[in-house]
Structure 1
Amino acid sequence: MNQPLIKLYGVPLSGHCHRVKLFLHLLGVKYEQIDANADVRATAEFRKLNPLGQIPVLIDGDLAISDSNAILVYLAKRYAADSTWLPQDAMGAAQVQRWLSIAAGELRYGPANARIYALWKMGKDDPVRAAEIGRDLLGFMNQHLASRDYLASEYPTIADLACHSYVAHAPEGGIPLDEYPAVRAWLARIEKLPAFVAMPRSAIPEAA
């Protein structure tokens, strides 16, 4: 039986969309990329897929899944159930969930928001405060990664994918990575995974 074609609604410069795209590539799952710019997201057709009008949205057969971290969990359960991407033991699962929460919290309101302001001069949050949150988070991550290779396990998990994109692109938001060697080493490990695909860089100058 042929696998139904997966569709991924998103935009190239979104870290939320990239984390899903990256996981699809790492899993070797074929998909169709559909551009979902602001005009598309305002349509009634798209609102049927996600009433909140947010991206990414993944379509798998008759299923529509929204929220990037929820999509990562779905893909791990659906296409990599026997893998280490989503640990099955209680502590392993809890550690992954901890970092998914950080990705939706400090990472979102820190490096991601700082980058949004730098790229598009938009966002409701104070960019100075976003940079402060970002530096605090990177300091915490650097300490955490000083004694381990990955965020939640001895193997890469969806926690690493949820956090990679916006950390890697933090310099686009004016948050340099030179003070966080363990974070840079972690990024390099993720980027050496077979089939890794990078999120496009923006055209603005980056902080070193």
Structure 2
Amino acid sequence: MNALFPAAAAPIRLFRNPKSGHCHRVELMLALLNIPYETVDLDMANGVHKSPEYLKISPFGQVPAIEDNGIYLSDSNAILIYLTGRYDDEQRFMPSDALAAAEVQRWLSIAAGEIASGPCAARLVTVFGASFDHEQTIARAHALLRVMESHLEQQSCLAGDDITLADIAGYSYIAHAPEGGVSLAPYPNIQAWLARVEALPGFVGMATSPVLA
């Protein structure tokens, strides 16, 4: 590619910010599928993610992105789809049944919508100093969590009783919601669901981020 981002060898390279839940969901998927990978931590404070070199990989200058032996792909949910389609031979995380696959897609949309605007945004305020209205993001987070709590009273996981991409996409920002001032104490079903994900063989967590004063 260039001197800053040389061509990859065998392991997948994950371009990331280690505090990003979007990046963690991809790292978690890589670990659960036992895919060799290496991380490339971008100096986002100094704008590396907006450099011409990185914009060739991720045109919107966002993380995560991956490089898989010459294939470059950005957007966390797109990467999850790619990884399971290419490497999940047993279809453990993406069902082939049309209705079950639609349920997974619904939760991927929620991950990009309600999760991003709720617990993710609340955490962006406290961890990264984002200028969102913190009270509004917390309120949106609890509105989502109430729906999830009721949903998980009926089934073990987001898209059924087996863990799928839906759970991988949803896990990171829900697990770290308290860093954004969103308590999980009122949600025992959500806590049990998080524990199910964390019990998966190969699970890797995201480092807890210090909260800005």
TM-score tier by shorter-chain length is over 0.9
Paired AA for residue 19 in structure 2: L
Q: 1:48 aligns with which of 50, 56, 67?
A: 56
- Residue 74 of structure 2 aligns with an amino acid whose one-letter code is S
- Of the candidates 64, 84, 87, which is equivalent to residue 92 of structure 2? 84
Q: Is the 8 A contact 1:10 1:37 kept in 2?
A: no
What is the distance in 2 between the residues matched to 1:92 and 1:56?
A: 26
Q: CA deviation at 1:187?
A: 0.2
Partner of 1:155: 162
Q: CA deviation at 1:155?
A: 1.1
* Structure 2 CA distance for aligned equivalents of residues 189 and 29 of structure 1: 21
Q: CA RMSD in A?
A: 1.3
| Match of residue 13, structure 2, among 3, 7, 13 | 7
Counterpart among 182, 202, 206 of residue 189 in structure 2: 182
- Measured after TM superposition, the shift of residue 37 of structure 1 is 2.7
The match for 1:203 is: 210
2:109 aligned with 1:101, yes or no? yes
- CA offsets, 1:43-101, max 9 Å, x none? 11101101110000011111111100000000000000432200111101100000000
Equivalent residue number for residue 5 of structure 2: none
Partner residue in 2 for 1:143: 150
Does residue 192 (structure 1) correspond to residue 192 (structure 2)? The answer is no
Superposition deviation, residue 143 in structure 1: 0.3
CA distance in 1, matches of 2:161, 2:150: 16
Q: Deviations over 1:154-185 (max 9, x none)?
A: 21001101000000000001110000000000
AA matched with 2:184? L
- Once the two structures are TM-superposed, the CA of residue 32 in structure 1 deviates from its matched residue by 1.1
Match of 2:56, SS? Answer: helix
Aligned to 2:78: 70
Q: Which runs of 4+ in 1 moved over 4 A?
A: none
SS of the counterpart of 2:59?
coil
Provide the C-alpha distance between the structure 1 equivalents of 2:83 and 2:27, rounded to a whole number of angstroms.
Answer: 11
Aligned equivalents of 2:86, 2:168: Cα separation in 1: 17
Gaps of 5+ in 2: 1-8
Q: 1:34 Cα shift?
A: 0.3
Which stretch has the larger CA shift, 149-158 or 81-90? 81-90
The alignment partner of 1:105 has SS state of helix
Equivalent residues, number: 202
SS in 2 for 1:84: coil
Question: Is residue 171 from structure 1 mapped to residue 178 from structure 2 by the alignment?
Answer: yes
1:11 CA displacement = 1.1
Unpaired runs of 5+ in structure 1?
none
What TM-score do the two structures reach when normalised by structure 1?
A: 0.94
1:16 aligns with 2:16: no
SS of equivalent residue, structure 1 residue 195? coil
Structure 1 residue 28: Cα displacement: 0.5
